[in-house]
Structure 1
Amino acid sequence: MQTRYLGELAVFAIGIGCMPMAGVTKGMYGEADEGESIATIHRAIDLGVTFFDTAEVYGPHANEELLGRAISGKREGLVIATKFGFRIGTDGGPPTGVDSSPENVRRACEGSLRRLGIETIDLYYQHRVDPAVPIEETVGAMAELVREGKVRHLGLSEAGAGTLRRAAAVHPIAALQSEYSLWERDVETEILPVARELGVGFVPYSPLGRGFLTGQIASRADLPAGDYRLNDPRYSEENFDRNLAIVDVVKTIAARHGASAAQVALAWLLAQGEDVVPIPGSKRRTTMEDSVKAAAVTLDADDLARLDAAAPRGKTAGPRYGERMMAMTRL
């Protein structure tokens, strides 16, 4: 088994992002079948995957509940990560903003433990930085949960370098989760170096560019009506074809290795450092199995140089999010 470390937390080299499995709209990742989603988790465990990522806001709540059902009786050896940080009504309706107050930290943790059916959350992330609450207060509340045995390790998601430093001064941070992939490399400038300086592991979400880097989407016409990616700046008519040039190189290297384009995109991330653990989203066994095989793909120096030239930092066409979502990142 290929073991990597997020701080002191040992995990398999590739985790599973559970978000597509339940609790998101059809327009985001298509419809999910609960039986297949649970079978995907079980098959991943059989293959040696130990790291599963969810969040309170996915649904809300439905994603944690599904993961809880799937791991029942299979908890030993698994690393379960979930996230808090949004203001969610008692009716479980859509979030109405961010909330990382100490009160919400505790409320969310108690709910996540109940829905997941576990006694301790292995990795507990702040999902998005709350500008209204000093990070020291939030991490202080998270640290209380560690002392109480309800949480093992702490993490942040989409935090800036300065926030990460302040957080780590309060309590050790095991992992920083942020978007990172061949077409989104801005973390390399400051955030990833600071994480490494502090001994913080890095967990890339959207490691396949929301499906773009798999090479299975040749045009915008391949996306069904209502798919959220039709509004993604990098999938826009003015940017789509320019970004396909990245995929062409990925596919060429994949053919040389007898691998899929997705496996090469994930192998590139794994080659960026032993502290990098991507979490591709999956809801079907076939997709998950393909992703997990990336742990066995080794890219040579020429492969890495060609990929670097095809996707240099900051050169992907279009921003990664629209203005509203971007305003919530790297604070």
Structure 2
Amino acid sequence: MFQGRNFLKEIDFTADELNYLIDFSIHLKDLKKRGIPHEYLKGQNICLLFEKTSTRTRSAFTVAANDLGAAPEFLGANDIQLGKKESVEDTARVLGSMFDGIEFRGFSQEMVEDLGKYAGVPVWNGLTDEWHPTQMIADYMTLKENFGELKGKKLVYCGDGRNNVANSLFITGAIIGVNVTIASPEELFPDEELVAKAQEYAKESGAKIEITSDIKSAVKDADALYTDVWVSMGEEDKFEERINLLKPYQINKELTDLIEGDYIILHCLPAFHDTETVYGKDVLDKFGISEMEITDEVFRSEQARQFDQAENRMHSIKAIMAVTNGNLFIPKA
């Protein structure tokens, strides 16, 4: 059962539990679209801790809390003393005594684990440098909405293979039976221990997990292509290095033309597909490229599902909050 549990990383949950969350997210989306109330957390107070800036995660947790009948309170990096003047343990105990649940988005996985250890209320990981579990429920929810099933589908991630999104994608896929290929330069291959762990899960689920530098052969039978920014938060000094490494892994028309069947495009956003951002203009001025991990043509193509995926962050986060804190009757999960 889910009640009272933290949601910190995918490996804490079984395939049945992750699939339940995906299906429940789809159900809550249907209720939302039909205007049917679902205030499973009515009267609760939810703390939103943000060390890192956010558009989708903050918006998703805020709207999800409101839809569930709870009151969200945002605390940014400059609002609290977390880990600075006050230990994580002490902060967790204080916040846990006042709030019914805590979301954390920041750098350290150890910090969110400690919050979960000491708070005494459910803690939800909105992103750390190692894992992005709430994103995964939305991502695989989007895949299931488009194909009707997950087992045996193939998702190809193109880009930085050792960031939090890549980690979460192939671990989650391995657990629930989705074939995941990480197409990345060898310098950015994921951690070998994590790959070994994924292979263990894959033996049980029947998934195929592949790590390769050959992006052209990887994408031919893909059901979904997925990419992320080339430079993660906190690594802004690495733009030139990443551009040089990852240009061959850009999702563009030449690459998508290699796919032999129906497919969708996923991106967890924000995306550098044009120069309509400060970063985009800066990269154009310094390095002479106007598109990075995905071209504008592909970003706007009929296969693109990144905005459905972004909306699904809210529905999936709502599902996670509800099952861990809503005293729901779940006969099997």
TM-score by length of 1: 0.30
TM-score by length of 2: 0.30
